């Protein structure tokens, strides 16, 4: 009795190895699989190294005809929130044969673009001054709702040029969130 061994092989290629995404927007990434085998083959697609909420794989498993090629798209979508930190992230797209377990990996880089969103609140909203009480005290709350560190300079003006404002700190560095 003679055993027949067939090498199931395939090739994988990404449309790009550097993906740039602006938080709040989406960017597609195409993956092409070239199946070199003589039988229909099923493959599983996965992404490793990124927060799972940052991407979607519409077809996580696909079947390809003998000697066939198939292109699938993944969607990378960063929420516009402080947890989507600006920066460069390495990740791997993996394609694994469900028949043989053979896996191929394509390394790539995801660049999350920075965005700025500074929120300022002043309390109280209004202060009265008199000749005997010429000081008013305000509390200024500055929040960094962007996705990268912010260097903020705080200043205030009076439209009538009647007041002088002094701050305990006129420059602050705020981490995201």
Which position has the higher pLDDT, 162 or 123?
123
What number is the average pLDDT over the span 125-141?
Answer: 84
* Model confidence pLDDT, tens digit, residues 39-69: 999 999 999 999 999 999 999 999 999 999 9
pLDDT score recorded for residue 1: 47
Check pLDDT > 70 for residue 3: no
* Model confidence pLDDT, tens digit, residues 11-27: 999 999 999 999 999 99
Task: With CA atoms as reference, report the closest residue to 173 among 114, 134, 124, 118.
Answer: 118
């Amino acid at each position: 009795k003679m055993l027949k061994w067939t090498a199931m092989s395939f090739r994988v290629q990404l449309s790009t190895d550097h993906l740039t995404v602006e938080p709040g927007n989406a960017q597609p990434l195409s993956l092409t699989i070239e199946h070199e085998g003589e039988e229909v083959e099923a493959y599983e697609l996965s992404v490793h190294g990124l927060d799972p909420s940052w991407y979607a794989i519409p077809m996580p498993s696909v079947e390809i005809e003998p000697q066939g090629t198939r292109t699938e798209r993944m969607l990378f979508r960063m929420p516009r929130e402080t947890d989507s930190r600006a920066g460069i992230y390495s990740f791997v797209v993996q394609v694994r044969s469900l028949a043989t377990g053979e896996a191929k990996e394509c390394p790539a880089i995801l660049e999350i673009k920075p965005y700025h969103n500074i929120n300022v609140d002043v309390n109280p909203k209004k202060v009265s001054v008199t000749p005997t009480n010429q000081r008013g005290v305000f509390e200024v709350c500055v929040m960094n709702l962007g996705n990268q560190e912010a260097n903020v300079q705080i200043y205030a003006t009076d439209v009538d040029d009647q007041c002088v404002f002094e701050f305990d700190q006129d420059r602050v560095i705020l981490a995201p969130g």
